Amino acid sequence: MPDQTNLSPADAAKLAASRAAIALVKDGMKLGLGTGSTAVIMVRELAARVKAEGLNLRCAATSQGTADLATSLGLTVESLDQIGWLDLTIDGADEVDPDLNLIKGGGGAHLREKIVARASDRMVVIADPAKVVETLGAFHLPVEVIPFGEQVTERLIRETLQAQDLGKRPILMRKRDDQPYVTDEGNHIFDLSLEAIPDPVHLARSLAAIPGVVEHGLFLGICDLAIIGQPDGNVIELRGEEADDVSDDLLFGEGEDE
């Protein structure tokens, strides 16, 4: 178990949030495990608790990296299809707004993360205070695209942004070692530098309608609880009262601009 006093303030906050989320886990649960630096801390804490208490859990991972880590620590990892519906997913976020809308995908796993989160009774986000924002968009928005025709897809994304007065900022192809970053599903990622997203629902719906776009990093109406860790070990819980309404808007098209 890490010593909180030897951690940076950000990592101490991530640890506090992770421990608070892990306290929600009960024996026999089916869990979704997130991806990213905060999720790494959470998975380690979860494995320690499972070992100490002998919990019987079935876990679905949102990335191969998380699956490998969890398996190495003794957690039971299965595919989502093997497990079926999940009781709880615990994941990090790049940004969290007051309504618990999120930007995710800094780790390149937002496609699987969204599938796993939507296949859960409850999604809990763990984060440090720097991730809490008033308006989404300062963090780049990841958009996963298929490699085929990606220049056309980029053009359509740019036209969509221009139509919403968001088109003056760059669209960057994510790279690793000077080559396009490849997701676990074999796709590429465009990172949209938008500064602010005044209407996330409209943008989410517009991006999802573009051929070639596999998934975007706007998680709207999905998170049920955000646990924001503090460097001193305390946590603040944020609950989203409007989550179900936003989710219904995206799924069924309610709330369209007239």
Structure tokens at 242: 């409007």
| Rounded distance between C-alpha atoms, residue 211 and residue 176, angstroms | 25
Structure token pair of residue 219: 């998680």
Q: Which long-range contacts (CB under 8 A, 24 or more apart) does 170-174 make?
A: 172/140, 174/108, 174/142
Which residues are documented as binding site for substrate?
Answer: 35-38, 91-94, 104-107, 131
**Helix, strand, coil percentages in the chain from 3-state DSSP, rounded to 5:** 35, 20, 40
Task: Please say if 113 is a catalytic residue.
Answer: yes
Binding-site entries = 35-38, 91-94, 104-107, 131
Catalytic annotation, pick one of 113, 144, 154, 215: 113
Q: For residues 13 and 121, give the distance between their C-alpha atoms in angstroms, rounded to a whole number.
A: 26
* Whole-number Å distance between alpha carbons of 45 and 106: 22
Could you give the residue numbers annotated as active site? 113
